[in-house]
Amino acid sequence: MIAKEKDAKHRPARWGASVRFPPKRILVPLDLTAESLAGWRQAQAVAGWFHADLEVLYVQPWVYSAMGLGVAEPYLSGKAVRQAVAELRRRLGPGVVINSSAGDVGDGIVAWAGEGYDLLVMATHGRTGLARAVAGSVAERAVSRSSIPVLVVRKKTSCVRSVLAPVSLEPDSWRGFLAAAHVAESLRARLTALHVVTSGTSGRARVGGLKRAADEWILRLPERIRRACEPNVELAFGSAPERICLAARGADLVVLTAHRRGLLSETVLGTTAERVIRHCGTAVLAIP
């Protein structure tokens, strides 16, 4: 295992206990799939945006005994880790810090993320239907459990000119909106706040009040941010994940707050953030 000492540099600005911006230390979980390695290329671009350091994490699922007793074999798992790390080093080139461990992939990523990193960058394999029900999505699990922001990508985005920030206008959504505004300011991108009204006709009757509430959020932003990213407000009606994914087609990056839900809703439906990640073709930055 190759580990790096915790960064002793000046820490970035914070919004709450887990969000530090701009990120200075980025963790990129990788396996040997093409989708995962595409995530590495995106992570390199992100590191360039923020002048951040990159580290790789490889988590080897436990290798179990051939006796069929359901017992993990540490020697076999360790051998698999060494082989995978060697192959990653060959593909990524020299000088890349590669951390490694064996165990549950989702648990391993979340545990490592808490060791002084500012951002997780992950590629999603885009599982749907039965494949997702059986195997789940490591990216979605990371979003629901990570203590730091998670950037989920499907394709490389070289330049961010527009940021979409879905907002619920509830108090716990403010931090995510503030983070989206800072991201937009840093990348010199235009910011759009999107509020989705899901209550049908009664919701439409409240459009004026909702628009004023969203405008008030924009006025709460520091003046320098308002000047830099020229924020505007959009309202939409219908299913929040569907409307967010539709609006995201005109944006380069979606920044949203990842709310925790009860066990049943997470298992059956998933949170709004997880459903957006599952279906959105645009990169999504989830703020815990």
What CATH number is attached to the domain comprising 194? 3.40.50.620
**Does one domain contain both 170 and 111?**
no
Asked if the structure places residue 31 within a domain, the reply is yes
Q: Tell me, what's the pLDDT at 67?
A: 60
Say yes or no to pLDDT of 69 above 70.
no
In whole angstroms, what is the distance from residue 274 CA to residue 219 CA? Answer: 29
More reliable by pLDDT, 123 or 69? 123
Asked if the structure places residue 5 within a domain, the reply is no
Is residue 12 within 8 Å of residue 23, measured between CB atoms?
Answer: yes
Instruction: Quote the mean pLDDT of the chain.
Output: 79
**Does one domain contain both 215 and 265?**
yes
Say yes or no to pLDDT of 245 above 90.
yes
**Does one domain contain both 143 and 184?**
no
Asked if the structure places residue 7 within a domain, the reply is no
Distance of CA 259 to the CA centre of its chain: 13
Asked if the structure places residue 1 within a domain, the reply is no
**Does one domain contain both 17 and 147?**
yes
> What is the domain extent for residue 274?
162-287
Say yes or no to pLDDT of 129 above 60.
no
Asked if the structure places residue 2 within a domain, the reply is no
**Does one domain contain both 45 and 147?**
yes
In whole angstroms, what is the distance from residue 281 CA to residue 153 CA? Answer: 8
Q: Tell me, what's the pLDDT at 125?
A: 59
**Does one domain contain both 120 and 212?**
no
Asked if the structure places residue 134 within a domain, the reply is yes
Long-range contacts of 203-209 (CB under 8 A, 24+ apart): 203/237, 204/237, 207/235
Pick from 104, 130, 153: which residue ends a domain?
153
Say yes or no to pLDDT of 136 above 50.
no
Distance of CA 34 to the CA centre of its chain: 19
Segment 24-53 shows an average pLDDT of 88
**Does one domain contain both 148 and 166?**
no
Amino acid at 274: E
* Three-class DSSP category at 214: helix
The distance in angstroms from the start CA to the end CA of the chain is: 28
**Does one domain contain both 93 and 174?**
no
Asked if the structure places residue 48 within a domain, the reply is yes
Q: Tell me, what's the pLDDT at 260?
A: 56
**Does one domain contain both 100 and 232?**
no
CA atoms within 13 A on the CB side of 40: 21
**Does one domain contain both 42 and 143?**
yes
Asked if the structure places residue 259 within a domain, the reply is yes
Pick from 133, 153, 173: which residue ends a domain?
153
More reliable by pLDDT, 205 or 206? 206
**Does one domain contain both 200 and 263?**
yes
Distance of CA 128 to the CA centre of its chain: 18
More reliable by pLDDT, 157 or 183? 183
Tally of domains within the chain: 2
More reliable by pLDDT, 139 or 234? 234
Residues ≥6 apart with Cβ < 8 Å to 18: 147, 148, 149, 288
Q: Tell me, what's the pLDDT at 168?
A: 86
**Does one domain contain both 209 and 123?**
no
Q: Tell me, what's the pLDDT at 273?
A: 78
Pick from 108, 126, 153: which residue ends a domain?
153
Q: Is 274 exposed, middle or buried (0-12, 13-18, 19+ CB in 10 A)?
A: buried
Query: pTM of the full predicted structure?
Result: 0.81
